[in-house]
């Protein structure tokens, strides 16, 4: 039996109330832990209430005492992994905090690639305690810089979007290599050579062709991420005079 859900009540408000006759062997934390482990090992599609019940060693309906369905479960999973993202202690510089946010977000997504496959708005934009705590710490680091509330949020979202976007691309690249059986970037470029040769042969993309010929860090995602992040932070500082 699930806890009674009131109209307009969030998962987190409902879970803040003690569950009726709670079982020592089952809790929201344990449900989230097993669901995340399953998604990490087999992908998001593997996470079903039945598979989860098997992993937990409980009856299929037992988890419904805490979650009403897949959307609630995804929110628990998002909350758990965002608990891994550490922000610097308050009082440091805003750049260090924004850098930690970006680096931590990228690392989080690379550890849990299924985060990039969330599709429903409720999951993608899930308002969870741990996720809100990360956001609040990031916003706190921007406090006192003379920025209004809208600009402060825009800075935070810009850095978060950069980290999320680059991580998505990096995960997609890894999945392409794995799916095609390619070992590394050299294999990928060889496999994609027919398409790229035709495109470059049109003469329409001279700047991209220069990259193909001259670039030496095509297979260095860490350098690419760090360089892009510094450009974002420098741009923010120059634009806002902070």
What is the average per-residue pLDDT within 45-59?
91
Q: For residue 202, tell me if it sits in a domain.
A: no
Lowest mean per-residue pLDDT among 12-16, 153-157, 198-202: 12-16
Domain that holds residue 17: 11-82
| 104/170 same-domain check | yes
The sign of the CA dihedral 71, 113, 176, 213 is positive
User: Would you state the pLDDT for residue 7?
Assistant: 59
Token pair of 88 as six digits? 């610097």
Q: Who contacts 169 (Cβ-Cβ below 8 Å, separation ≥6)?
A: none
pLDDT over 60 at 67, yes or no: yes
Domain boundary among 54, 82, 110: 82
pLDDT over 50 at 234, yes or no: yes
Q: Who contacts 44 (Cβ-Cβ below 8 Å, separation ≥6)?
A: 114, 117, 118
pLDDT over 90 at 239, yes or no: yes
Domain boundary among 55, 82, 109: 82
Q: For residue 204, tell me if it sits in a domain.
A: no
| 70/114 same-domain check | no
Q: For residue 199, tell me if it sits in a domain.
A: no
| 150/223 same-domain check | yes
Q: Which of 119, 99, 210 is nearest to 162 (CA)?
A: 99
| 98/145 same-domain check | yes
Residue pair 146/95 in contact (Cβ under 8 Å)? The answer is no
Q: Which of 87, 68, 70, 88 is nearest to 78 (CA)?
A: 70
CA distance 85 to 182: 31
| 107/129 same-domain check | yes
pTM: 0.87
Check which CATH number belongs to the domain holding 130 and give it. Answer: 1.10.357.10
| 153/227 same-domain check | yes
Q: Which residue has the higher pLDDT, 20 or 6?
A: 6
CA distance 155 to 237: 10
| 68/26 same-domain check | yes
Q: For residue 209, tell me if it sits in a domain.
A: no
Q: For residue 108, tell me if it sits in a domain.
A: yes
| 98/139 same-domain check | yes
pLDDT over 50 at 21, yes or no: yes
Domain boundary among 35, 62, 82: 82
What is the average per-residue pLDDT within 18-22?
57
CA distance 52 to 182: 33
How many structural domains compose the chain?
Answer: 2
| 223/103 same-domain check | yes
Q: What are 92-129's pLDDT values in tens digits?
A: 899 999 999 999 999 999 999 999 899 888 888 889 99
Grade residue 23 by pLDDT with cuts at 50, 70 and 90.
Answer: low
Check which CATH number belongs to the domain holding 61 and give it. Answer: 1.10.10.60
User: Would you state the pLDDT for residue 61?
Assistant: 87
pLDDT over 70 at 9, yes or no: yes
Q: Which residue has the higher pLDDT, 130 or 22?
A: 130
Q: What are 137-192's pLDDT values in tens digits?
A: 999 999 999 999 999 999 999 999 999 999 999 999 999 999 999 999 999 999 99
pLDDT over 60 at 231, yes or no: yes
CA distance 136 to 224: 28
| 174/104 same-domain check | yes
């Amino acid at each position: 039996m699930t806890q009674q859900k009131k109209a307009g009540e969030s998962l987190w408000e409902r879970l803040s109330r003690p569950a009726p006759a709670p079982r020592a062997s089952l809790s929201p934390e344990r449900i989230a832990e097993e669901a995340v482990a399953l998604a990490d090992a087999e992908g998001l599609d593997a996470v079903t209430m039945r598979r989860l019940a098997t992993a937990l060693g409980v009856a299929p309906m037992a988890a419904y005492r805490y979650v009403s369905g897949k959307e609630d479960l995804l929110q628990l999973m998002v909350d758990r992994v965002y608990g891994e993202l550490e922000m610097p202690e308050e009082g440091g510089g805003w750049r260090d905090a924004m850098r930690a946010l970006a680096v931590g977000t990228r690392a989080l997504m690379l550890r849990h690639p299924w985060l990039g496959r969330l599709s429903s708005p409720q999951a993608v934009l899930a308002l969870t305690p741990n996720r809100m705590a990360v956001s609040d710490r990031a916003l706190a680091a921007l406090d006192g810089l003379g920025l209004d509330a809208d600009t402060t949020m825009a800075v935070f979202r810009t850095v978060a979007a950069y980290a999320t976007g680059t991580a998505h691309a990096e995960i997609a690249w890894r999945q392409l290599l794995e799916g095609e059986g390619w070992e590394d970037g050299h294999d990928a470029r060889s496999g994609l050579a027919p398409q790229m040769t035709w495109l470059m042969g049109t003469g329409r993309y001279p700047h991209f062709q220069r990259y193909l010929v001259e670039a030496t860090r095509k297979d260095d995602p860490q350098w690419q991420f760090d360089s892009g992040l510094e450009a974002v932070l420098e741009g923010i500082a120059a634009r806002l005079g902070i």
